[in-house]
Structure 1
């Protein structure tokens, strides 16, 4: 089959080693049919071994059928695999311009489970199993290949997603081909269990061969970017002290508690969300207080409210004696519960005795309580929350377990009052980055007074949580209203500045088209295109008369262009004499309209006066715009619409209303440690920021937890608001510089409760992958 260059991924940028890069990709595609056939043959031999070792006639027949179907279809799979691999490579290249997923291609989210059918669940588990097998087989060679392939593409550091020969690409192509085969689902399942291992063996050989080829071609590997404590990035070689974030790390799943056959699996979790377990439950019982446990309220008052004994923000979870009743503590020993419920669920119900319904309900109850326990534990370990908040959520575990028994819709309904209460609590808690942060003690007191009683209450259903949620919102209403007022005032100021900037860009384009504009000196031209265009735009925005030229500021443009050309004004010095007394005062009047600093225009006015003197006295012709040096940050030869890319003017009053940061503050001082990022970063690139994202921002030498609350329609301005309503705003350019210098650190944008429940789903996935099939 002929391979064309257009079928290959188009790397960017390509350095001097581009031919080596293209050669290895072409070679892999050319050999992909043989690779598929070798995988199929290894799979056939593995199936034969399983058949020889079969203990039952059914297993023997199943392996025999899988072999026969594989031999019949091997040639077809070999023919189709190169096309599938080429398609997977193209998809990977397209995805490079998109946001990189936070985990692997096969991650699963809690709230997606109920939308999946059994076949999709099975496929997800098979993919995860295959992914683990591949990760184990290629871990070392893959890191070295990533470093060499990125070097061959001219990249300055390792970016694994730019390696087109990633294991997931080959696996995606393999699964696509297998899914097309006319065979039963069981046969395809039997194939994939063995094909993943065979593919891992083949890829390891392939990677080692490509590594040798690249090294022989003189390619030198680049390093992996690792962020240091001071916010700077260093680059380490593959296999060094900083291990590369390779395929195995990307696809690793949370390690489940316990061993053996677990209670929580992906299929059971899906059934729980769908309500397939019996909804007949015993009445919820009030949890008995554990006599030896100190109540959370007393521990909170003793340790948190005493200034001399402030707790550490993130101590081990075992440091706190939780108020979970003894009965629930016993149920949390999920090794025993899992084994017991497996045996119970495996027993067959006798017709008519009703035991099946009771056993189903028991399994559902135990499963629900395990999900609650894992969810609470995940929330209580979220580093974005301060220790008192983490422990408060732990104290709510008994109430949530009662709710899980009384109302399993808690798991499937994202708008369930209990889930919304947890999300509201954790959302508000994200506003604080330290126990001494303004408003944190008041926030914790509201939790203790209003939500605290849930920890020891008898829960009847969702209404108990909805009442608490409404009371909390009523308690927070005053501070929220003040915060919103500050935010709106800042937004109005920034919106006005942005509108003026957009309008000024259009007006500057019109000014450029004026006759003889190119003949005036560069400083005068940039004054007209910059500050004076802002003046004209401001006059139009605030005008209520409907005038075509409010303030007659546009009229001054022509006069200024004419007066800046001595070769013209010498011919009519009388007109120039009449113009001069009006010109400078009118210019200063217009600049005052936008509060433009006088010291930033003095040089322009001095040059203008010199040009006027030359008209009366004679003198050399000044440089034209095209030969004049542009002021810092501007380029005189750029087209007019690119003014939108320049830093906008923000008037002092607008800056005060929005907390505008008009210059980059110093990097993290030596005596101030940068806050640890909640997730590892592999490059100093700008993360995706959405409204609602919480960040740590260095303000006046102090870390401040603040939230992105508004982004301008042009993407020019970004507004951040902290818990007390204080605002900070900046331009896109300054935002990028803050991130690059470590002065702004973005926290994970996914809500705390969603992260916790997704981790539950990941644990269920791992349990399913590692359990006996």
Structure 2
């Protein structure tokens, strides 16, 4: 589907397409054009600053190896500087031309690593993620304040009443993307690329800050006033807050763009300030997820002995150093540092109370690698549970239950450290079921909450005091919970399945009808019948033929002989033809009307619409018995017949019985039709994730007949044009893609949870590891 906004986002000047071409738009267009045209010279200055920085590092190098490494990076940069300069402008134009989808994804968060994808990454991908995050951080520190003001001016120049960073095609993220693209084309080694990007990002930040300040002054001199930031209130309305001054921030870029800093309802809470998690980096977390730190056979040469041989041996051994001495020394000291961090982490866990002491005492392997793995496992569990317990979407009784699970899960982290990376592990499923199902309740007073909580309380008590040696206690608890909830939700599930069956049937019929529409549309006679008849044939009657095909078991080419009725209807709707053979018309009409009526009844077509069409048909038939006056008087001037209506395949037709079964919300019967304000509300600009990011299981607040209710996306049609929501009472609401777009834009459908609570908590763990990697070099 192409939304109303999509046509505006196809090129560098896309955002200027929506408002009328006023003086502010002229200024905006000229600024974007000249900035893109001069971006190559900006990159030239960035390269020169970086080259000088590398030269200074080379001059200050303490070892020959460091000097040689930096010199190699500098010389390589000098060789390709002209190519980087020449290609940058084109790369930036391409980055800008990709429009809002890329911009939305790229600026969503500085920390974009997902926990469940980390295990699949190789060392190069890890390095690139850390490098990209470090570069973004460097740019964010330089441009945060001027970028906020520039975003406000850019939005205002395009006639927007609120600030949308997506309306600024000069976002720093796009400059960074273009720079990374042209650097990648030079195919530098990982070490050279890291050296380059460290200085290129810093220099780019300084250049962009200067550029933004110049553009701000230019737009202010042109009389452009900044727009305000739209903030959604609890009731769904918006208030517009003017951008802050020099200390303001630019939503959508830099550290403040992390989900927990945006007040995003679906984001986990920010880790506690001041907590030291230096043990956890992306590199170590990936090792843990891959099982590289699992307890195994003792190495042939223990680490302590290797360290003694390499670095504490007698002077006679020192005369014959290992050929990889430069590599071995830092690796050995890194290992020693890791073990110190293990001790610190165990001490922190012990400070959490008896549960931490118990878990820490269980971690006493002789193998240092296994000790590190167990310590990391416990660190991940502790962080994950902290994120879940502080998640603002969860009601406080659920948060308390999560905290009570901590002793058992810390023990499990030692016995089975991969439980958090295995989506089907009973412990992870238990956490996921209890937290996600709890989102159905807006408060502890919501009907059904007590019956939801009681099984949880019954199960959690024994589990928190169990001796955890494997996953079995969690599997038993999960089975108990699912059985208890299944009894309570039996009616809810029955209604949901009935609704899904109705929508699936409608979807299949609409797919068949679309094919039949193509066949009917190619008939030459369809252009000469009255437009109302053409609409009937291309609309309801294709549904009739499709329904007959779905119900048919005989293999007939024309089940119900409904296709045969098409030719008869087309002939009977042309008075200039029926006058020639009135007798045939008299014989045809009873059979035709009977067949039309039977077909419309088969699809439960509304009786009022049926009567209206039959009245029109009778009027056309009556004209056959009236004299033809066309030969007695000049033919009247008729307006040119409009073409037969086109079919909107993304807006399926739902039969009334199917609408009742699924609680269908008809966009045409929407009591609040779209207006100018609705059209101006872009899902991206309002901060609400568009439906394309919604998955089955997503909880939303939906306004139905003026009242808000909590409901869950429980089914999406195979072609993505039908959606079904089910609330905790089993009541269903279904809608088309078009209506969903409209409700999201209007703010009457608000996403509560875009991903599972556990997945969000684990992603936050990966984000913590990424932040630590920026500081430690991972």
> How much has 1:25 moved relative to structure 2?
0.3
1:21 maps to 2:32: yes
Residues 725 and 734, structure 2, Cα contact 8 Å, conserved in 1? yes
1:551 maps to 2:581: no
1:719 maps to 2:724: yes
1:651 maps to 2:651: no
470-479 or 83-92, which deviates more: 83-92
Residues 36 and 93, structure 2, Cα contact 8 Å, conserved in 1? no
> How much has 1:278 moved relative to structure 2?
6.9
Cross-structure match for 1:662: 666
165-174 or 687-696, which deviates more: 165-174
CA distance in 1, matches of 2:589, 2:538: 21
> How much has 1:587 moved relative to structure 2?
3.3
1:694 maps to 2:699: yes
Change (3 A) 1:539 1:189: closer
487-496 or 697-706, which deviates more: 697-706
CA distance in 2, matches of 1:521, 1:766: 67
Aligned pairs for 1:28-177 (under 5 A) are: 28-42=39-53, 44-45=55-56, 51=60, 59=62, 68-69=71-72, 72-82=75-85, 83=87, 86-87=90-91, 89-91=93-95, 93-94=97-98, 96-97=100-101, 100=105, 103-104=108-109, 107-116=112-121, 121=126, 123-148=128-153, 158-161=163-166, 163-172=168-177, 174=179
Change (3 A) 1:228 1:468: closer
CA distance in 2, matches of 1:180, 1:572: 76
390-399 or 561-570, which deviates more: 561-570
1:332 maps to 2:338: no
Residues 110 and 761, structure 1, Cα contact 8 Å, conserved in 2? yes
Deviations 1:263-282 (A, max 9, x none): 4344443444445557399x
Deviations 1:446-474 (A, max 9, x none): 11112331122222222221222233233
> How much has 1:24 moved relative to structure 2?
1.5
Aligned pairs for 1:451-466 (under 5 A) are: 451-466=460-475
Aligned pairs for 1:157-306 (under 5 A) are: 158-161=163-166, 163-172=168-177, 174=179, 192-213=197-218, 224-233=229-238, 238-239=243-244, 244-248=250-254, 249-250=256-257, 254=270, 257-258=273-274, 262-275=278-291, 277=293, 279=295
The one of 629, 637, 642 aligned to 2:643: 637
Report SS of the residue matched to 1:596.
Answer: coil
Q: What is the aligned residue count?
A: 679
Deviations 1:642-669 (A, max 9, x none): 2524551x3332222222223556569x
CA distance in 2, matches of 1:395, 1:106: 29
Cross-structure match for 2:343: none
Change (3 A) 1:500 1:415: closer
CA distance in 2, matches of 1:386, 1:624: 71
TM-score, reference length from structure 2: 0.75
> How much has 1:91 moved relative to structure 2?
4.6
CA distance in 2, matches of 1:199, 1:714: 44
CA distance in 1, matches of 2:504, 2:494: 15
> How much has 1:259 moved relative to structure 2?
5.9
Cα RMSD over matched residues? 4.3
Change (3 A) 1:554 1:410: closer
Report SS of the residue matched to 1:708.
Answer: strand
27-36 or 694-703, which deviates more: 694-703
1:747 maps to 2:749: no
Change (3 A) 1:106 1:88: farther
Deviations 1:418-477 (A, max 9, x none): 222222322333333333445432221111112331122222222221222233233334
> How much has 1:134 moved relative to structure 2?
1.6
Cross-structure match for 1:435: 444
Change (3 A) 1:261 1:753: closer
Cross-structure match for 1:289: none
703-712 or 763-772, which deviates more: 763-772
Deviations 1:63-121 (A, max 9, x none): 75566446534422522423256436525644744572584365222334444456654
1:468 maps to 2:471: no
Residues 510 and 652, structure 2, Cα contact 8 Å, conserved in 1? no
CA distance in 2, matches of 1:134, 1:268: 27
Residues 536 and 554, structure 1, Cα contact 8 Å, conserved in 2? yes
709-718 or 174-183, which deviates more: 174-183
1:422 maps to 2:431: yes
CA distance in 1, matches of 2:601, 2:275: 74
> How much has 1:738 moved relative to structure 2?
2.3
The one of 587, 591, 599 aligned to 1:590: 599
> How much has 1:189 moved relative to structure 2?
5.2
List alignment gaps of at least 5 residues for structure 2: 1-9, 261-269, 298-345, 674-682
TM-score, reference length from structure 1: 0.75
82-91 or 486-495, which deviates more: 82-91
Change (3 A) 1:14 1:164: closer
Change (3 A) 1:573 1:376: same
Report SS of the residue matched to 1:382.
Answer: coil
Residues 502 and 658, structure 2, Cα contact 8 Å, conserved in 1? yes
Change (3 A) 1:109 1:95: farther
Change (3 A) 1:428 1:179: same
Residues 289 and 421, structure 2, Cα contact 8 Å, conserved in 1? yes
List alignment gaps of at least 5 residues for structure 1: 1-7, 52-57, 282-325, 342-354, 629-635, 669-677
Cross-structure match for 1:12: 14
Cross-structure match for 1:322: none
The one of 516, 524, 540 aligned to 1:507: 516
Residues 684 and 740, structure 1, Cα contact 8 Å, conserved in 2? no
520-529 or 192-201, which deviates more: 192-201
CA distance in 2, matches of 1:209, 1:520: 64
CA distance in 1, matches of 2:652, 2:629: 34
